Amino acid sequence: MNFRHRSIAATMLLTLAFGCSKSGEGPPPPPIKAGAMGGGTPIELQPSPEPFPLGLSVSQGSGLHLFDTPSPDQGFKKIPQESGAKRHYDEFTIAGKTHLVITEESNPPKFWFDENRNGDLTDDRTPALGEKSELIPNTYSIHIRYDGEKVIAPYRFWLFGSNMGGVRFYPVCHWHGNLTVKEKQYKVVAFDANADGDYSNDPVVIDADGNGKAGDGESLTPGKSIAINGVQVTLASVSPSGLTVRFNMK
């Protein structure tokens, strides 16, 4: 799977006005420079296609219904040309917004995601291909627009028929970076543990004791602190995309 490659090419576009960035085309866009939003010192994290960083657990998010036909209420305006393979028509709510989705039982299966939320499923990037042959369970990688940050960020997820009912998902990805305190580096992780595509409502973890696990006191919500090497480190915020975390240190 070329998640990393696609991440470099398509993550962190400076502006939505450039439209979609397809994988492998041209040089990577310049990274977002953290602006003046919020307090604290910003740290830019890097995307990773691996789940459960530092042993963090996850809950299941609501996924798809696999409707056989599009409902007039859903607002499909334009759909990709039929291929003969069976399709399903859904709304997928991620990062607080509803996106139209068409899934197709081709091999590999396809996942069209209305990234720009205009009801046209033909003007977005090429469909995400399942990493295995069946529609579900399978892993897909999409890009989500975080309009408030002007960021487009990758999101890789496991889509499966849940024993809780329905087709659900959880993230198979996270963001990671390093926080330097008194010249020593500590791993920082943002993980969408509640599976809604919004990292601002999950704790940020600093592996302060360096044991590779999220321990007691290492998971911070905004305003919470941990003492590291004699410095009080307080999480100011994490952006919805997960790209930027901000800390105050004193």
Q: Where along the sequence are the contacts to Ca ion (CB under 5 A)?
A: 114, 116, 118, 120, 123-124, 192, 194, 196, 198, 201-202, 207, 209, 211, 213, 215
Question: Percentages helix, strand, coil for the chain, rounded to the nearest 5?
Answer: 10, 40, 50
Residue 52 neighbours by CB under 8 Å, 6+ apart: 58, 191
| Cβ 170 to Ca ion shortest distance, Å | 11
* Cβ proximity to Ca ion, 8 vs 102, nearer residue: 102
Least distance between Ca ion and beta carbon 134 (Å): 26
Residue 149 backbone phi and psi in degrees, to 5: -100, -10
CB of 159 to Ca ion, least distance (A): 17
Q: Which is nearer to Ca ion, 104 or 207 (CB)?
A: 207
Using CB positions, name the residue nearest to Ca ion.
215
Q: 28 or 222: whose CB is closer to Ca ion? A: 222
Distance CA(153)–CA(45), nearest Å, equals 12
List, as one string, the DSSP characters of 46-87: EEES-SSGGG----PEEEE--BSS--GGG---B-PPP-SS-E
For the CA atoms of the chain, what is the radius of gyration? Answer: 19
116/234 with CB nearer Ca ion = 116
> Minimum distance from CB of 174 to Ca ion (Å)?
11
What is the CA angle 105-106-110, rounded to 5? Answer: 80
Smallest distance from Ca ion to CB 107, Å: 25
Strands (DSSP E) contained in 75-183 are 87-94, 97-104, 110-113, 128-129, 138-146, 151-161, 167-171, 174-181
To the nearest whole angstrom, how small is the minimum distance from the Cβ of residue 114 to Ca ion? Answer: 4
In the complex with Ca ion, which residue's Cβ is closer, 90 or 202? 202
Which of 8, 113 has the CB closer to Ca ion?
113
